[in-house]
Chain A
Amino acid sequence: MAITWEKDYASALARARSENKPLFVDFFSPT
């Protein structure tokens, strides 16, 4: 199962709420 990265925080939070799942936030720096 591939990881689906939401395109932005707001949509991720909305999906987390609608699916009743926790949100995993990974702050990154481009290498």
Chain B
Amino acid sequence: MDTVTYPHGGVQRRLGEHFVCVRPQIDVEKDLAKKYLATWTPGFFFVDGQENVHYRATGYHPPEMFEHLLDFARGLMAFNRGSYDEAGKILTAVAEDKDPSPLQAEACFWLGVARYKGGDKDALSKTWSSILDRHPNSLWAPKVGFIREKEKVAKGRRRTG
């Protein structure tokens, strides 16, 4: 992380603008590590002022993937406080970024939920459908696969109705 990812301009800008950063040494800050259930390094935690953990990730991340992680976590934190429009904008940027990363499928999942909770009820299935189209081998595809069956049933009803 120190050699490649933290010196990256996009990573520095994101951490500098949007987060307060701290690096506890896991074998020194043992009580803190225990509190967060941090057992391996690097171990990343995204925490609010009440010390709620909104997201965690473990292991080296190359710069482009780490940029997605930082943006995704920020979007998820906006979602968790009910700021669905803000969450939608941040998650859209991750989901539609030209640089691919495994976080984009997860960003699509929560983007659909943010749009739904923000009042666009049709957006849930449309956004989740994009997971099946663009990230069919992701961990998130099986979680939304049922919507295709629902779409087939709905089309059948329209034909027979």
Contact = CB atoms under 8 A, between A and B. Distances in A.
A30 to B, nearest CB: 7
21 contacts: A6-B20, A6-B21, A12-B20, A16-B47, A20-B49, A21-B18, A22-B18, A22-B54, A22-B73, A23-B22, A24-B44, A24-B70, A25-B22, A25-B24, A25-B36, A25-B46, A26-B21, A26-B24, A27-B24, A27-B41, A29-B25
Interface stretch (B26-34, B100-108, B115-123, B135-143): B26-34
Contact of A27 (B13, B42, B46, B73): B42
Interface of A: 1-6, 8-9, 12-13, 15-17, 19-30
Contacts of B46: 22-25
Interface of B: 1, 6, 11-13, 15-27, 29, 32-33, 36, 38, 41-49, 51, 54, 70, 73-74, 77
Secondary structure at the A interface, as helix, strand, loop or mixed, is mixed
B19 A1 contact: no
